[in-house]
Amino acid sequence: GAVVSQHPSWVICKSGTSVKIECRSLDFQATTMFWYRQFPKQSLMLMATSNEGSKATYEQGVEKDKFLINHASLTLSTLTVTSAHPEDSSFYICSARQVFYEQYFGPGTRLTVT
């Protein structure tokens, strides 16, 4: 089956530093990748959609300068949380889509900002 990996699975950083999260589709080429944020006991909140070689499309209310997304290739997308603050602590999940009805999710990254 299709596999999406994320790295790191958890990270702790100090307030003001930047953190990069990688998302890879391991056995398929993803036409589109998505980044979600999930708060405890809540559903997934879509942050942005990215296509390889194009600028990401951010959802309303998501700061594009804080959450930098780079979709470098058909198998790799990165999310960089810049100048992280405690309120950015969350569970971040990426997802990769090969065709519109086949979307697979990574295992998530737990970010804690101290």
Among 11, 13, 46, 76, binds another protein (CB under 8 A): 46
The number of beta carbons lying within 10 Å of the beta carbon of residue 49 is: 18
Minimum distance from CB of 16 to another protein (Å)?
Answer: 26
> In the numeric block, which tokens belong to residue 34?
């998505």
The reply to whether 62 sits near another protein by the rule CB under 8 A is no
Nearer to another protein, 42 or 65 (CB): 42
| Sole window of 13-21, 45-53, 63-71, 75-83 interacting with another protein (rule: CB under 8 A) | 45-53
Nearest residue to 74 (alpha-carbon basis) of 24, 37, 108: 24
Among 14, 43, 65, 87, binds another protein (CB under 8 A): 43
Question: What are residue 33's DSSP bridge partners?
Answer: 50, 96
Q: What Rg do the C-alpha atoms of the chain give, in angstroms?
A: 13
Instruction: Read off the amino acid at residue 76.
Output: L
The reply to whether 61 sits near another protein by the rule CB under 8 A is no
- Contact by Cβ (8 Å): 69, 48: yes
Residues in touch with another protein (CB under 8 A): 4, 6, 31-32, 34, 41-44, 46, 49, 51, 91, 93, 95, 97, 100-101, 103-108, 110
